[in-house]
Structure 1
């Protein structure tokens, strides 16, 4: 679990872009109903090992070349373990960091200890709908994470896109090293405008169903639901009724439509749920 000191350190450039700002999660319809909106009210967190980008959480983002040959766990690993997201060192982590020849495997090993939930700053990206919302038959859910009270188990940061691999020195700020490792991606993915929620997989609020991890969320974090352009009228109407019956309020409901003049999507507001009442515009 993150410490108060870690959360203080997290107040660097970028945090204002995501807290109290709306960010969006593209998801298939069935998963949205089952896991997020109706049945369980959770967010899915995945292992970086399951991501489709081979450079995701790439160990090359951290530079170990300046570590002196005489370095021990106390003066190298301690920087990464005591005041960082890593916090608690497993026996395998200590073994890796005590062996100079295998230190480069440290961050490769850390992929086993983290879970990430991915969002976007936009809800109208055609490729995102195609890749992550079941080919436009799913939904895009708008979240706002409050900076006060800040969720104590995870942090949220926008992804930083780079044109080249730029390693961060291991002797720099430990929080920044871990953060750099987790939120740096290639410029090829820039169109996603990604934002990441990051959590340790030992959080007490994480539910494990075998392969995936789910974090219980507050309903008032959900501010917007956007239906894909291929979702039927019947499904839209059914979902609005479910939302109205399940304790949500102050939610804007939209639907995407194909722009007939170019290769883009346009939105249309179809409902505004206020205080559990559905007001169709």
Structure 2
């Protein structure tokens, strides 16, 4: 499967390509105010008891768990105390912000994404070959009109599934991006080794000739990488992608 990353050209971008690295962003700094948010859903006393037993087991086995942060005697007070409930969910939200996310798209020819993410067509778009079987934290984004509804119980029973559900859900307004997300725990705002194979670099319709030459020189030893160019159609509102011919 091919997935694409639109980027502004910079020394940092060039360095990442040369070193075969990718930058994982934290959701707290995303441009979408609604990204990675969820609705609070309360849970029952029976669910609390079940979750308490599960957590005790996970502690002994050194398995990640959701810290309830209160005793059974405080349970009823918390259920009817919005301040304490909100504090619990605030902690869960901060936990989500610790994840590093690498955003990709199914399409390399989006006019909006070339404009928004690739410096008004002056940047580049990286093409990656992705094996979904080898990347189980690479998730297709679900587009919705409402936040995912999540309780602390949901997070406690299946932390990975619930976390991924929240981190891979966005407003339907963004559906044109056809986004996928590579998600890594506790790696927010960090540079990591690239888990995918870079197969092509697409230059923007307004890419500067000196930027193109710099990239060609930097990547010339990697025979697995091809070069393409995005151009503006003369008849339709669309971007055309074709092989780059070096003159």
Q: Same fold (TM over 0.5)?
A: yes
**Secondary structure of the corresponding residue to residue 267 of structure 1:** strand
Structure 1 pair 238/165, CA: closer, same or farther in 2 (3 Å)? closer
RCO (CA 8 Å, sep 6+): is it higher in 1 or 2? 2
User: Residue 113 of structure 2 aligns with which residue?
Assistant: 128
Following superposition, the deviation at residue 120 of structure 1 comes to 0.7
Which structure: larger Rg?
2
Unaligned runs of 5+ in 2: 79-84
Structure 1 pair 199/117, CA: closer, same or farther in 2 (3 Å)? same
User: Residue 217 of structure 2 aligns with which residue?
Assistant: 241
Which of 27, 42, 47 is the aligned partner of 1:48? 27
Following superposition, the deviation at residue 235 of structure 1 comes to 2.9
Matches within 5 A, 1:67-216: 67-68=44-45, 71=48, 74-75=51-52, 78=55, 88-89=64-65, 94=67, 96=69, 100=78, 101=85, 102-147=87-132, 150=134, 155-168=137-150, 170-171=153-154, 173-201=158-186, 212-216=189-193
Which of 219, 234, 254 is the aligned partner of 2:228? 254
Unaligned runs of 5+ in 1: 1-20, 207-211, 272-279
> So what's the TM-score if we normalise by structure 2?
0.79
> So what's the TM-score if we normalise by structure 1?
0.70
User: Residue 82 of structure 2 aligns with which residue?
Assistant: none
1:122-169 superposed Cα distances (whole Å, 9 cap, x missing partner):
111111111111111111001123356x36xx7111100012334256
Note the aligned Cα RMSD (angstroms). Answer: 3.1
CA contact (8 A) 2:103 2:182 kept: yes
Partners of 2:96 and 2:5 in 1: CA distance: 22
Runs of 4+ off more than 6 Å = none
Partners of 1:112 and 1:73 in 2: CA distance: 27
CA contact (8 A) 1:73 1:97 kept: no
May I ask how many residue pairs the two structures share in their alignment? 228
Partners of 1:223 and 1:239 in 2: CA distance: 14
Structure 1 pair 76/185, CA: closer, same or farther in 2 (3 Å)? farther
**Secondary structure of the corresponding residue to residue 65 of structure 1:** coil
